[in-house]
Amino acid sequence: MLKVSEALERICKRAKPLGVTTVPLEGSLGHVLAEDIVARFNLPNFNQSAVDGYAVGSERFKFKLLDLEIKAGDVPNITLNKDEAVRIFTGAIVPDGTYAVVPQENVNVSDGYLEINKVISRNENIRFEGEDISKGDVVLESGKIITPPIVALLASMGYSLVKVYKKPRIAIITTGNELISIRKDPPKGKVIDSNIYQMKAIVQAWGLNVVFSKRVPDDLDSIVLALKDAFLEADVVITSGGISIGEYDLIREALKALGVRKDFWQVLQKPGKPLFFGVKGRKLFFGLPGNPVAVSICMYIYVRAAVRKMMGLECDVLDDFIYGILSEDINKSSKRLEFIRAIMRYPKDRKYLPVVKPIEKRGSHMLTSMADANAILIAPEGISFLEHCEEVKVLPVNWFGL
């Protein structure tokens, strides 16, 4: 059976960037840049006033005020003499000959003259062309995830189209004879298929599309059919349930029938031991166990890693751990790594490491354990006891974004 780190390594090796596409800027949020962005012009693209005030021609204290206003967007065709000043507003082009711009709070105007009541220095309140970005600079490097401020930067550099990595299309299949659709009073022995909602929600929070989803009973033909359709439409196919060793665990048999090659099955972890990973051509397959908490963890760790790599990001999600202080003793089996759902809190002054408190209900079928958690404590293999006040590795949990 594989260790968690080995399983992740294998996934990261198999998952390949899907390739590059061009999208309109407005559809680019959450994509990963697949090109270096070079400044097409200087930013600011002209010398401009940083305040509402007066452009003055020298360091003097009294000026003749020209009968003119320069508003944002105007193109002044004047040159200020040393004894002249002109009304100017924020963002407007500073005229030639400007020594500085004086804020309107620091002046008196009377009889066509401007007097200033504060010493000003050369270039004060002028934003200079190119002081933020110079033409030809690489302003963003390929591999960056596009955030709202990056959208702004791309827009101001005149990029209406951007080269990005393609986002993987996701298919979701849940399996189990006991599963029923959502309703207020499930009949005896039946279980509401929460995984299909959870998995769709996770994919949605990652900014990706679910292109196929279906719930099927534990029946080989139905599973094969659903998988076949899923592989036609998606880059990543994910199932829940039916991957353990029971007689009604039919996923592996269905995969054989479809020519999906196993990369690994079963990982030394809790929850999620039966996790299966395979490939069909360039497409990836994840067989998750049915337990909803195992689904959360396996999606967050393994599927996210693969998806990140496919869309041009770093793969190994476990690298993002931080250290915390354990709030209580924990006993565990030394065989498996445990992903323990926890609540992490920083002390008020943030001078110390965060305190990490495991959630009481630890069963992998207990949905509340994951719903309440804001961190996953990584309790490694080979250790059967973690001590109160020990430094531990934790992954902060953020479902939104990759």
Q: Which of residues 15 and 199 has its CB atom nearest to ligand AMP in the complex?
A: 199
Which residues does 286 contact at the CB level (< 8 Å), separation at least 6? 236, 237, 238, 239, 275, 276, 277, 298, 302, 303, 306
- Nearest Cα to Cα of residue 305 among 295, 316, 297: 316
Q: Should residue 292 be labelled a site residue for ligand AMP when binding is judged by CB under 6 A?
A: yes
Only one of the segments 115-123, 156-164, 241-249, 256-264 lies at the binding site for ligand AMP (rule: CB under 6 A); that segment is: 241-249
Q: Does residue 370 belong to the site contacting ligand AMP (CB under 6 A)?
A: no
| Strands laid side by side in the 113-116 sheet | 100-103, 53-56, 84-88, 62-70, 113-116, 107-110
**Is 244 a residue that touches ligand AMP (CB under 6 A)?**
yes
CA distance 352 to 347: 7
Q: What gap in Å lies between CA 241 and CA 269, rounded to an integer?
A: 17
Shortest Cβ 303–ligand AMP spacing (Å) = 15
CB of 192 to ligand AMP, least distance (A): 7
Closest CB to ligand AMP among residues 65, 294:
294
Q: Does 291 bind ligand AMP (CB under 6 A)?
A: yes
Q: Which is nearest to 192 in space by CA: 175, 178, 208, 180?
A: 180
Helix, strand, coil % (nearest 5) of the chain? 20, 35, 45
Q: Which of 240, 269, 296, 369 binds ligand AMP (CB under 6 A)?
A: 240
Binding flag, residue 241, Mg ion (CB under 5 A)? yes
Of 44, 168, 176, 271, the residue at the interface with Mg ion (CB under 5 A) is 176
Q: Which one-letter DSSP state was computed for residue 182?
A: S
Residue type, 32: V
Q: Tell me the residue type at 274.
A: P
Q: What are phi and psi of 154, to 5 degrees?
A: -65, -40
Q: Which is nearer to ligand AMP, 168 or 292 (CB)?
A: 292
- Decide whether 213 or 291 has the Cβ nearer to ligand AMP: 291
Residues 163-202 interacting with ligand AMP (rule: CB under 6 A): 174, 176, 178-179, 191, 193-196
The residues facing 126 across adjacent strands are: 49
Provide the minimum distance between the beta carbon of 218 and ligand AMP in the complex, in angstroms, as a whole number: 8
Binds 324, which of ligand AMP, Mg ion, none (CB < 5 to 8 A, cut-off by type)? Answer: none
Among residue numbers 279 through 318, which ones bind Mg ion (CB under 5 A)?
Answer: 290
Task: Find the shortest distance in angstroms from Cβ 154 to ligand AMP.
Answer: 40
Angle, alpha carbons 4-176-188 (nearest 5°):
125
Q: Which CB sits closer to ligand AMP, 243 or 326?
A: 243
Handedness of CA 269, 272, 273, 277 (dihedral sign): negative
Give the nearest residue (CB) to ligand AMP. 290
Give the residue carrying structure tokens 């990261």.
12
Q: Which residues bind ligand AMP (CB under 6 A)?
A: 174, 176, 178-179, 191, 193-196, 240-242, 244, 289-292
Q: Which residues bind Mg ion (CB under 5 A)?
A: 176, 241-242, 290
